[in-house]
Amino acid sequence: MKYNATLAYKMGEWVAAHGLIEYGGAPLHSFLDIFKIDQRTYYRWLRDNAEFAETLQNAKERYKANLSVKLVDSLARAAQGYEAETTRTEYVSDREGKPVISKQIKERKPVPPNVGAAIFLLTNLSAEWKNRQTNEITGKDGGELFSQPVTIRIHETGAGDTDAGEETQE
């Protein structure tokens, strides 16, 4: 197959919709099968054609941005709880003993809020909720840790010299 701008556009649209390798996107072999090119051709086009490489990179970024929005929406639903529709199917046996659907009942069932999802959202999206600890180290009774400043001087040593330097207090 010969490279052209129309093909690159179609490939970019496919990658934007399905992803490609990164971020949980489609595997490379699926992309290659859809567009009927081999792996060597794909990597040659990436190497030799800046337009192709840029088109795919931009498409991957669009996929990533769209995926981020979907994941935040999904996480927010899980944090808040939601209703899910389920279908219960009942069967009866026909004359030959094979199961046949007798009725299907659609039900809406509540899915309770997920506390872990709520904590994750709050600690990552709200300035008021941070899951961090700060430790301060002080001396006796909250005073200075060192009564005098400590200065460490390191002297460069010559070959075979084992003295790495000296520590002094000022």
> Cβ(32)–Cβ(38) under 8 Å?
yes
Q: What is the pLDDT along the chain (170 residues), one digit of tens a residue?
A: 888 999 999 999 999 999 998 878 899 999 999 999 999 999 999 999 999 999 999 999 999 999 989 998 999 999 999 999 999 999 999 999 999 999 999 999 999 999 999 988 888 877 777 777 777 788 788 888 777 777 778 877 766 555 554 554 54
HSE-CB for 109 with a 13 A CA cutoff: 7
The pTM of the whole model exceeds 0.85: no
CA distance 3 to 148: 72
- Which H/E stretch holds residue 166? strand 166-169
DSSP states of 46-62: HHH-HHHHHHHHHHHHH
Q: What is the pLDDT of residues 52-88, one digit of tens each?
A: 999 999 999 999 999 989 998 999 999 999 999 999 9
Q: How far is CA 130 from CA 25, 126, 134, 163, in A?
A: 31, 8, 11, 47
CA distance 66 to 77: 17
Name the residue ranges covered by the structural domains of the chain. Answer: 5-80, 82-111
> Cβ(59)–Cβ(16) under 8 Å?
yes
